[in-house]
Structures are given as C-alpha cells and as structure tokens.
Structure 1
C-alpha cells in the first residue's frame, strides 16, 4: 500500500479519496476548513501545505477545478514541487489545458518526479461508485505505476498517449457531453411543447438509437427538475473554453460547441453557474417560453 497525498476534496475528490482509504492506502491532504468526518474516520490526516504533503507521500494526486489551481498547488509558494522527493509520482486528475499540462509535466520530471495526467469522466455517481472513466497521458513507466491506484477509483482506464494526451481526450469528452445534453434537452422540450408525455418519450427513446447514458441520467434530471450538481455549469464552461481556445489554435471550427457554451452562459446570466449541466434545459425553456412537463 502507498502513502498518498490527495489534494482537492470536492464533489468528486471526496468519494475518490474514500475508495483509496478503503483499499488500505494511507492518505494525507492539505488542511482546508473542516475535513469530511467520514474521511477522518477512515484515517485521513491533514497537513499544512502541498509541500508538506509531498514530503510525506510517495504519490500525490490533485483534483482541483482549473489550470491555475493545479499550477498553484504544484508550483506556488509551499507547493508540491518544493517538497518533491526523487521518484514521486504526481497524478493530476483535474480537467485542465493540455498545453499547460505538458509544461507542468516537464517541470515535475525535471525536478525528479514522474507525471501523469489522468482526468476523469462519470460525474459524482461515477466517483461514488468507483466507476469513473479515466483518460491517461503518461510515459509507459508512469502509466504502469499509476494504474493500480487508478483502478481503485475507475472502471475504464485508457492510456491515450504522452503527457497532455489525457487532457486532450477529456476536452473531446466534454464536447460530446455538452452537445448530447443539449440534444436531449431539445428533444424533451420539443416533445413537451407538442403535448406528449415526456417521461414516456424518454422511456421509448432509451430503447432506440437515441439511447445514451446522458438521456438516461440527465434526461431524468430534466424531467424531475433536479438541477443540484452533479457537475456544475461553470466547470463545464471552463472545459468548453479549453475546447474553443484549442480549436482557434488548430484553425478548427466547432460551431456546436460554441452554441452549447452560449446556452450555458445564458444559464449563468440567470444565476445558474452552480446548476448541474443538465440545467442547459432552462436556457432552452426560456427561449421557448415553455417548461418541460408543464
């Protein structure tokens, strides 16, 4: 079993850390307010800084919101890099910019560590059920070392390629997820406005070519109007910004992605930055002057 530093105990990070504790790993984290009582009961302890975490850990996992957050944790004052020991495995499971990831990896490797980018998909449910899809960018050695740890938290683990490749895959994932959520929302809105029973429409669609995990999970959220996150709109916006910035650098048009981003922005304008991303339905309902199920 490993001594693991886990930094970032949010909606996703808490259950992920819990699975590692259940598997017998010894976990430390950075003190941020009150540590979840369940994690304390399982033996997780707090330290004063990312540097202190790195000084004690063989493996450091980060699961924080955005690229600047990862940079601060790794390279800011009192950061992981200051306490890095030769051979320490650093696994970033956040969803951040691929190019920045390559730069972070070089800095960690130059300092004597091993870097793995391993963003995840599957949302809160996937984290709770240890069923996450994990997309890995790493050397072969890094992937081999990280895999037993990742297998505790995820079900589908794929080595995409070198440093940054995991994050590139995650950006692609977020494009597909956003456009599929929008498609489900538009389909249910159309059915509702036409006077059909949207619950029965969803049930029927789940048996045909339109069937998807998003229609299953987020379609139900839309019908029941349960927009507590899940995965917050402001975080999906961040991911689509990465997609659109990358597209500009590649001279690539992503019109569907841009449209989904505008619908998310409409939600934010109505106070919805912390809604689950299924809340994109609300932006479409506003345009239609119709609420699904009404």
Structure 2
C-alpha cells in the first residue's frame, strides 16, 4: 500500500524544485507561479468530463435533487467552500448544494487526518444526510484513493444516487463504478506531496465550473449577471442596483427605488421595470417560470 502511494503523480518529486530550500524568495515564487500556470491547461484537458458532470448535476437539480461534495482535508474544505458560496451568489437554499468533510465541521479549522482512513465514516455520512436516488455525490480526493471518499461514493451508488469522482492522478481508485470520472493531472507538487497547492487549485477550478454552470442552467444567471444574488450586506445591495441598471438602462436613482420596491430582489425589480407590473404580479410571473427571469421576460403575455 505504501509503495503504491509513492508511485502516485501527486506524491512524486518535482524535478524543478529539488533545491527549493537553497533558492532566494523571488526565485521560489517564480517557480511556484510557473507550476501554477500548468493547472489551467490540465483542467482544459478534462473539460469533456466536466461537461458531463455539469449536465448530470443540472438534470438532477432540475428534478428536485441535491448536490453533495464529499472530501477529506483540503479536498473536503474546498467542497464546503464551494457549497457555502452558492446561497449568497445564486440565492439557493443552503440544502441544495452541501459540502461534507471527514471528521465533521471541526475538521475545517483543525486537521483530523485519521478520519480520512475510514470508509465506514464516509458511508455513515451519506446515511446521515439522507442521500437518495435523486441526488448527486461528488467525491473529491487529490490522491484518488482516500478511503473516506471511496466509502461515501460506494454508499451513494448503492442508494441510486449519481456519482462523480474528482482526483489529480491519471488512475484513481475513486473512479470505480462512478458515472463520471474527472482526473485533473497537474503533475508533481512544488513541495512533494503537498496537494494543497496545484491539486487544490485544480479541484477548486473544477468545482467552480460545476456549480456555476449548473446555476446558469437553472436560470440563476441572466446574461452574465448574477440576478439571484441575495442583498444581505451593503456591497450586495449596491450590486443589485447595478444589475438592475445594466439590464434596464435606468438611472441609479430609479434602480434604487425599484430595488426597494422589489424587496432587494434584482429579478423582481427587472420584471417590474420591463413589464410595468407591481411587485406581487412580478413575483407571480417569476414563480410561474420557475425563477427563470429570461423565460419570464420573453413569455410575459
């Protein structure tokens, strides 16, 4: 088992960084920057697989399912981060996209490395979250062999859920039996085995793609504007006004009034301006089209 671990791409030594501790600061930074540049190209290589994952997730969520990220350590934290950003950015229910980390929420701030070695913990967490055949589970493991993630994927599959694996090695145990396997091979890390570097960057890029494009498919973006943004602080309240201005062409003062009348909902404010409806009627129209503002605008009659 140990021999196999050291054969993984994510565990091999990087020929470009073997004298890292003897280099001046700026040279180390240049090397890190050059290595990071490779990540986007590695992600580019797996875009067809990411597209399959997005379509799978979009179809499930459109039918009332949920998206779960399961991971350990850095991978688990990245899943929770992506899930946590969905409600403020896209106005989603916090239950729609959820991140689960081996060892529980305390593992977010304190490493609980032993938890990742127990596949039964992964299975138990799938049971705990009541995952069903309507849901999608993404197992995230840079090494591609994390027992916790393997256990979670196996249990999810046994319950009929769709499964996706995300790893950073060309061959990964987490791929076994999943519906979509995404292997982003970023090569050896700058610091040997430190997958919080390139591997984590690649994982975050892919998770951003999965959640963002899924939300676009769900109608939570109009053009390239996050019209479902939740105006929960001053910055976001100003963003709502700017979005209303961009879509309708009205002034800041007019957008401010509309945003207030719409209760801070950019979609409702836009519909009110474009259709002449009051707030209640605009909300009803938006609801009729499942929150899809473009459909509501184009089919208002």
Q: Normalised by the size of structure 1, how large is the TM-score? A: 0.26
Ranked by relative contact order (alpha carbons within 8 Å, sequence separation 6 or more), the top structure is 2
Structure whose residues are more often strand by fraction: 1
Structure whose CA Rg is larger: 2
